Chain A
Amino acid sequence: MLNIKDILETVQMIQDECLDVRTITMGISLVDCADSDIGKSCGKVYDKIVRKAEKLVETGENISRTYGIPIINKRVAVTPIAFLAGVSGGNPADYARTLDRAAHAIGVNFIGGYSALVQKGFSAGDEALIRSIPEALDETERICSSVNLGSTKAGINMDAVVLMGKIVKETARRTADRQSIGCAKLVVLCNAPEDNPFMAGAFHGFGEPDCVINVGVSGPGVVRAALQRLGKDAPIQTVADTVKKTAFKVTRMGQLVAGEASKALDVPFGIVDLSLAPTPAVGDSVARILEEMGVETCGGPGTTACLALLNDAVKKGGVMASGRVGGLSGAFIPVSEDEGMMAAVRSGALCVEKLEAMTSVCSVGLDMIVLPGDTEAAVISGIIADEAAIGMVNQKTTAVRVIPAEGCKVGDEVNFGGLLGGGPVMPVSTVSPAAFVTRGGYIPAPMQSLKN
């Protein structure tokens, strides 16, 4: 029989330490839905999503019950809609409304892929889609939008950077009556992965199969509890080892769920994304892991080093546990979704500049940061450019998901509810980068891009 200690450890992880599978995300290619008539195209998109993902939610719930593991989200990621908009013309927001209807029909809480990939420039449909993002996020509930505007290979598209600053602001304005929640569903990426199951950056890349199952695991609470049991005087390599072992177990669970979901839905397994994704729940925080390692408050000196260790150990532990690892895989640091991060911001220990440093070693970027409503578009573009530069040079994914909450000032609190959480409005530099960002053009790809 199985070891009683192992069994109780797993039960404790689920019951007390917030262990869960964060998402089963079905990637669906919409390439075969493209039509020169936007009405027909939308019809095919709706039909294909509903056909492919009809049983996704039900299957997720069945697996959850059989194995006793909470599976929090069931989601869909589709081919970047800019491609379809390029073929059909018309108002891309029609696709957003279609996707939203499909999301409601199949019962998923988000569909990602209202996206454009413009790292090297705009092709047909890209600019129209980007300009329609504020309307799309205002008029829909379950759509996530992302724009990839830089990569190590291509450099950074500064025309897109300046445009996205304005689009973020416009989205905040259009959804001002809901605390600018539209911006919580809009992410600007550099080096975006094509198989990421996590929102808001999920889309189904062009190199992916027709339909695929990707699973995102989580478990910051489990890692923190394991470190707590280790004690404060354990050497740092033991801390790294403990994180690795814990990440291994958590990922094995994700791999099992991914395999079962793939079998039940008769859809190929894609990847397991072994990310530590926090939630606003107490005990499910990445910041608290860093504090458990010994930093007094997240954001203080030492935070970046702790995060680097954590991110690396999570990958090393997870990689052996899964047949195929992908997506973002590492530690997320979304401020409004992490109870410890919010507390650190309130105490004054964590600022936007420190978060920027942390993004050079975490798995994504500046995430779910609420900024004052009067933050200028150019400042947001400057933040996007800085973040993209970190990603481009370090050959990693970086992202910006900031919410310039209309009508809010530093110290105000916003609350988006659910997994998006809420939190204090953070101060940000008002020194203007306008002259720089409005030059336009592109930042050339760095030497690292010349690998061939």
Chain B
Amino acid sequence: MRAVITIVGKDAVGILAKASNVCAKHNANIVDVTQTVMGDIFAMVMLAEIDKMESSIDTLQDELDGVLAGQGLVAHVMHEDIFNAMHRI
């Protein structure tokens, strides 16, 4: 099972590092990363294998919220299937 992690908000130093750290800590294997900066808006999409993750999606979400708190960034951790359902026929 793969999860899509998105982080959108104000650009700053170290966002990717913080997100990857949280993933590593929970044994979520990052298989792809795309990021872009439009103006000063930062958008990052990360695809992670979570089958061997040692905690729930919830915990991952909470921890990302924690490390990004107060920086004007919003993180979403969502099962990959939601995007396949909505954007693939």
Q: Which residues from chain A sit less than 8 Å from chain B, CB to CB? A: 1-4, 6-11, 14-15, 65-69, 249, 252-253, 255-256
Considering the complex, which residues of chain B in the window 56-78 have a beta carbon less than 8 Å from any beta carbon of chain A? 56-58, 61, 74, 76-78
The answer to whether A68 and B34 touch across the interface, beta carbons within 8 angstroms, is no
Considering the complex, which residues of chain B in the window 35-68 have a beta carbon less than 8 Å from any beta carbon of chain A? 36, 43, 45, 47, 56-58, 61
Q: What is the count of residue pairs linking A and B with beta-carbon distances less than 8 angstroms?
A: 70
The answer to whether A68 and B87 touch across the interface, beta carbons within 8 angstroms, is no
The answer to whether B83 and A6 touch across the interface, beta carbons within 8 angstroms, is yes
A308 to chain B, nearest CB (A): 26
B41 to chain A, nearest CB (A): 11
For residue B1, which residue of chain A has the nearest CB? Answer: A66
13 new A-B pairs (CB below 8 Å) besides A2-B83, A65-B56, A68-B79?
A: A2-B84, A3-B87, A4-B43, A7-B4, A10-B86, A10-B87, A11-B8, A11-B78, A15-B74, A65-B58, A66-B79, A67-B79, A255-B85
Q: Which residues from chain B sit less than 8 Å from chain A, CB to CB? A: 4, 6, 8, 32, 34, 36, 43, 45, 47, 56-58, 61, 74, 76-87
Q: A4-B34, A249-B87 are in contact. Are A68 and B76 (CB under 8 A)?
A: yes
Q: Interface on chain A toward B: helix, strand, loop, or mixed SS? A: helix
The answer to whether B6 and A2 touch across the interface, beta carbons within 8 angstroms, is no
Q: Which residues of A are found within 8 Å of B36, using beta-carbon distances?
A: 4
Q: A1-B47, A2-B4, A252-B86 are in contact. Are A15 and B81 (CB under 8 A)?
A: no
Q: Which residues of A are found within 8 Å of B56, using beta-carbon distances?
A: 65
A13 to chain B, nearest CB (A): 9
Q: Which residues of A are found within 8 Å of B34, using beta-carbon distances?
A: 1, 4
**Partner of B45 from A8, A68, A256 at Cβ < 8 Å:** A8
The answer to whether A11 and B6 touch across the interface, beta carbons within 8 angstroms, is yes
**Partner of A1 from B8, B32, B43, B86 at Cβ < 8 Å:** B32
The answer to whether B76 and A15 touch across the interface, beta carbons within 8 angstroms, is yes
Give the CA-CA distance A7 to B34 in the complex, in Å. 11
The answer to whether B85 and A8 touch across the interface, beta carbons within 8 angstroms, is no
